[in-house]
Chain A
Amino acid sequence: MKRLLAGMLLLGSLFLSLATAANGISLLSCWYPWDHDSDVRQWSDNEWVWAGIHGQVEVCDGQFQRILTNTVYAVTEWSGVNGEGKKYTDPYGRYAYAKVYYQRYSGETGVATAYIPNLYR
């Protein structure tokens, strides 16, 4: 009788630990989609600015966790304006952005901005 009880307890604890382990796995339902953003301003075929950024993000249970910083790629391009590009990636993967400052020949200044997380905020 004692042996049976001990065996039952062992088996029970095994099932229990399996169940919690399985539960733990389901808690960590993370996925790694690509997030992206771009800000394009075009005044003519040869007068435009483009700030763009993309990178993989970690999303767990629908919640943004971080950007996988080694996947971040940013673009700062321009044509027909005086431009200046800026790129930043936070080492902790909290955010990343690309910016283009531009001055058109009319003298007007502006800034195009692209950032992630954008779609998975």
Chain B
Amino acid sequence: MKKLFIFIFFFLLLFSSSVLALPSWFEEGTYIKYALPMPEDKGSRDFQIFTLHPALISPGIYQKLSQVSEVPEDALIGLFVYGDVFLTFRIVNVTGSVALINVTLELYNIKVNFWDSLDALNISTLLTLNLTDLTYRDKNGNVIGTPSFFIDPQNPPKKGDLIVKTSLLKNYGVHIGGDLIVKNVSYTVHMNQTLLTYARNFTPPYITVVSNKEPLIWAVGNGSLSSSSSFEAIYDFNSGLMIGLMPPSQPSEFLALGIIESSFLDYTATKNLHKLYKSGEDSVKWWLQGFNLYETNIEFWELKKVEAPESSMKYFFIVGLFLLLIILVKKLRGEKK
């Protein structure tokens, strides 16, 4: 009987470990915001480009864009962004094994198709995340990719795992080799450097996920796009949260927003990195140059530093230790007697 219980206990233990363990911060109401803030003294060639496919964007966005620019259905839409860019993930709802994630890309100071001014644009969508295998699903239940903004640190991605179902683009006149899958998972990238972000500093180790690179071609008449699609992001080892999305990555959320390709760089982080080079601090500190963590309501436990507030506890412990020592000495003496 006892053996059976032990067996059941171990069986349950084994079974429970195979169930996906979500990071503790993954709950309704959590938001994580990444940014590409444009510096005040930006250069003339400092801008971001997001390339949208007219058949993949929402009717609302199509309408908004066609109010300021000509948006023919046989041309890609180029959003030239001269201001700040924010990418926000919000966990709207968690029910059983499904979570709803709101993804919003905020763009400021835009020239639509190079010429037509638009002060601001919010491109947003609600994604269904299956929590058992951490994949986004479309209305028909088909997998479109995995979330970019976090990984399960207990069960990090493995070589060959899907990242973005870029092959879906083949249905929209885009020639692409195949899907983006995990090519490499590394724990040694920036292993001696503190990563600085707008929200907080991160300390090593980190988990870096890199995909394959797929050539991407689109052509209509004499118009054409020749680019490639790839993914690289760096995650916090403890929380599994994405610290930075490296340029020019194509996360699955971009595809869901109708963005088929983009060119971005955090010009502010680039300036900050150059300052680190100049001061010689780049060997211990680093700024990633893509979408960097900007704001979140996740509370990181490392933030509660062992400093001033706990100093009184320190004396308490010293007194306690001292008392223990006295008791020990007394006991030893008593034993001798």
Residues of chain A having any CB pair with chain B under 8 Å: 39, 69-70, 72, 84-95, 97, 99, 101, 106-113, 115
Contacts and interface: CB of A to CB of B under 8 A. Distances in A.
B226 interface: yes
Closest 7 A/B residue pairs (Cβ): A91-B223, A69-B222, A95-B114, A86-B227, A109-B289, A91-B220, A87-B226
Interface in B67-81: 70, 72, 74-76, 78
- Chain B binding surface SS class: loop
Q: Which of A39, A84, A86, A110 has the most CB of B within 10 A?
A: A86
B154 interface: no
24 contacts: A39-B45, A69-B222, A70-B222, A84-B228, A84-B230, A86-B226, A86-B261, A87-B224, A88-B225, A89-B222, A89-B225, A90-B78, A90-B113, A90-B223, A91-B220, A91-B223, A92-B70, A92-B223, A94-B115, A95-B113, A97-B49, A109-B246, A111-B247, A112-B45
Name the interface size band of chain B.
35 or more
Contact of B270 (A39, A107, A110): A110
- Chain A binding surface SS class: strand
A88 B113 contact: no
B263 interface: yes
B265 interface: yes
Contacts of B96: none
Interface string B203-241: 000000000010000001111111110100000000000
A88 to B, nearest CB: 5
Nearest to B72: A92
Contact of A111 (B76, B263, B277): B263
Contacts of A90: 75-76, 78, 113-114, 223
B248 interface: yes
Given A91-B221, A108-B273, A109-B289, A86 B74 contact: no
B223 A101 contact: no
A70 B224 CA distance: 11
